[in-house]
Structure 1
Amino acid sequence: MNELWIVLSSYPTGIYSIFLGIMMVLWIFTILGAVDIDVLSVDIDLEVDTDIPGFAGLLHTLGLSGVPFTIVLTLLIFIAWVFTYVASNYIAPFIPTSFLQFIFSTAVLIGSFFVAIPITAKLIQPLKKLSAENRAKTNIDFLGYECRVTSQSVDEEFGQGVIANSGDDIIVRIRAKVTNEFKKGDIVRPISYEEKDNSYQVISNKEFENNL
């Protein structure tokens, strides 16, 4: 166990261990409803035929678009972490000098990330299909659906909820006036959709039913 920890915390594996730890914390906060799952998202249309500029275009070219960037980044870091661990544990000890080991470790640090790119692109292919199926129903179609609050509170700037769609839960951003008392577990209803921040304005289930 002690030798395992040394490998996981030493260069270069330790670099990816830190990033992997950060992503794990992010996912824990997401599950608890403290942050939006798409806080690092990059929205790219799956059917884009024209050139996409900037970082989004790079992701599209590498085949890393079509799913939330948080998932892509987690897979990239995890796969690179596995490669650096294997190289550090099974290959590096046979390299004769510290200087050559450092050169080797640096090459592994960089190379493992590039190796992880095509593997990640392959792994997210099934997720792209699921994402495309979910997009078949437009955002406006979910207006009036029951939405369960998953964040600790909801205000004009932050909130997260889950909408049940044919048995599948869809995580969405929700917003409400600050006078609300919404808390985790409450049922609310989306009444409008804001494209600028990909969020739904919600009201209480009781208020929605009274307005029917």
Structure 2
Amino acid sequence: MSFLQLLTSYPGLLPSIFVGVMLVFWLLTIAGLLDMDSIGPDWLGGSEDADVSGLPEMLVALGLDRLPFSIVISGVAFYWWLLTMLAAGLLMPHVPLPLWASGTLVLTVALFAAMLLASASLRPLKPLFVVNDKVTRESAVGRRCRILTLSVEDNFGQAEVEMGGGTRLTLQVYAAQPNRLSRDSPAVVLEFDPRRKRYLVAEFDPP
């Protein structure tokens, strides 16, 4: 069976669609039309003391609770697709079961294995996302930043702030409407909204 046939037939079609959706999401994120928190629940604790009691128990057990949902789901989707494609091409032709039965078995086992592989490969990234909320809020507020997304809405936007010493932080931000903020616009961080878990920014008008 050719690679194209594997992509467009059961069971490879399902994870292929999933991976395709995630690729579109990341392309839109790179283009500035979305931010990393645009999909999924907001479970990024942001600090080591954050409450994770509401997260799925399996993901907490796998150590994926401190990573953005978009990264977790992308990692799981990639491994699910890879394992399903390998199994469909190498194992299923030798399994004496109907296609629907062998395909469903492959999807189920591959998904479980994908979560384990995603856990092993993504857990080393957790320190990049675990920051001290209090220190970050106090140090980021009042600083100038650069907008990364094409616009900043009431509950959408990203900005990069220079923290000194070559350190840059990417913040989830929002702004009052209407505004003229767009990609590469200079802005200033005004305050942190704990309910939204976003920073309020405003246009920066140099004196």
TM bucket by the smaller chain?
Answer: 0.7 to 0.9
2:70 aligns with 70
What are the Cα deviations for residues 33-70 of structure 1, in whole angstroms up to 9, with x where unaligned? 111212224223664598714x4444212321111111
Match of residue 115 from structure 2: 117
CA–CA distance in structure 2, aligned partners of residues 87 and 11 of structure 1:
12
Give the TM-score normalised by the residue count of structure 2.
0.86
1:162-209 superposed Cα distances (whole Å, 9 cap, x missing partner): 223453543322222224212211111101110111111112222xx5
> Using a 3 Å threshold, how does the CA distance of structure 1 residues 10 and 138 change in structure 2: closer, same or farther?
same
Bigger shift: 9-18 or 172-181?
A: 172-181
> 1 or 2 for the larger relative contact order (CA 8 Å, sep ≥6)?
2
Is 1:30 the equivalent of 2:14?
no
Q: Which residue does the alignment assign to 1:183?
A: 182
Runs of 4+ off more than 3 Å: 44-51, 55-58, 133-137, 164-169
1:87 equivalent in structure 2: 87
| CA RMSD between the two structures | 2.5
Which deviates more from structure 2 when the two are superposed, residues 11-20 or residues 132-141?
Answer: 132-141
**Shift in alpha-carbon separation, 1:46–1:160, aligned structure 2, 3 A:** closer
Asked if the contact 2:46/2:132 (under 8 Å) is kept, the reply is: no
Amino acid across the alignment from 2:119: A
5+ residue gaps, structure 2, are none
Aligned residues: 204
Deviations 1:88-111 (A, max 9, x none): 1111222356x2x33211101011
Deviations for 1:124-162, whole angstroms, at most 9, x for unmatched residues? Answer: 122112223576842332112221112222233332222
Correspondence list, 1:134-149, <5 A? 137-149=135-147
**1:3, distance to aligned residue in structure 2 (A):** 1.6
1:171 match: secondary structure: strand
Residue 44 (structure 1) aligned with residue 42 (structure 2): no
Which residue is 1:193 aligned to?
192
More helix by share: 1
The corresponding residue for 1:59 is 59
TM-score, scaled to structure 1: 0.84
Q: CA deviation at 1:14?
A: 0.9
Identity %: 27
Once residues 195 and 189 of structure 1 are traced to their aligned partners in structure 2, the CA distance between those partners, rounded to angstroms, is 18
Q: State which of 136, 139, 154 in structure 2 corresponds to 1:156.
A: 154
CA distance, structure 2, for counterparts of residue 161 and residue 45 of structure 1: 17
